[in-house]
Amino acid sequence: MLDALFTVEKDCPICEKKIKVTRVRSRLDMIKQDTDFCCQYKNVNPYYYAVWFCPHCSYAAQDTYFDEIVPAAAERIQKFFSERNVSIDLSGTRTREQAVVSYQLAILCAELAASPASRLAGLHLRLGWLYREAGQEEEERVILAKAAEYYEKTLAQESMPVGPMSELTITYLAAELLRRAGANEKALLYLSKVVSSPQAREEKRIADLARDVWQDMRAAAKAKIPAKQQG
């Protein structure tokens, strides 16, 4: 596991102090991928280290946009934590519990920064995956429902694509998270949008995933039994 991790030095964009962050080497052996794109790997879980944290000012954000903070948002975050005594060590090898804390802090910072819905959706999604890994089903359901809500806002408010995700992918993901959260009727509405979209031909993998989930849900509904959890 240690061979998969390495440390780099960064400047915190909030307090400008030097920090050390743990990164994961890109070559990991994937075991499987769930229907909401959660990947399981051998030896190390890269989601544990996707959030970078500054121990000096308590700023936390996903690595891909850690440096993307405007002055007004930085001021709000700095003021919030300056009024609280936060003493947390998230350096080095993280436990699952430390990873959960890192996402909770990143969500708080993203809310203080008024970040786009897509960023908040992604943070909630990955936090939900950590709860899944721990077998905390109720916590997972609540967080995935929140992720689905933010993906719905993403579809309504943001220009497409969002990073590597197309509108069709986000629509499918919102549907799958709603299904996992127990909102089956709403999930079916989003799945029908995916399978009937003209873009379905160009994004066959997403369309096929949507059809598989849709068919499983409809079959389960006819049999009057809960739809099975996939993956």
Q: Could you give the CA distance from residue 12 to residue 15 in angstroms, rounded to a whole number? A: 6
Q: Is the pLDDT assigned to residue 226 strictly greater than 80?
A: no
Q: How confident is the model at residue 229 (pLDDT cuts 50, 70, 90)?
A: low
Q: Could you give the CA distance from residue 43 to residue 28 in angstroms, rounded to a whole number? A: 9
Q: Is the pLDDT assigned to residue 71 strictly greater than 70?
A: yes
8 A C-beta contact, residue 51 and residue 22: no
Q: What is the pLDDT of residues 81-136, one digit of tens each?
A: 998 888 888 989 999 999 999 999 999 999 999 999 999 999 999 999 999 999 99
| CA quadruple 230, 38, 140, 118: dihedral, nearest 10 | -120
Q: What is the pLDDT of residues 176-211, one digit of tens each?
A: 999 999 999 999 999 999 999 999 999 999 999 999
In the chain, domain spans:
1-115
8 A C-beta contact, residue 84 and residue 42: no
8 A C-beta contact, residue 18 and residue 9: yes
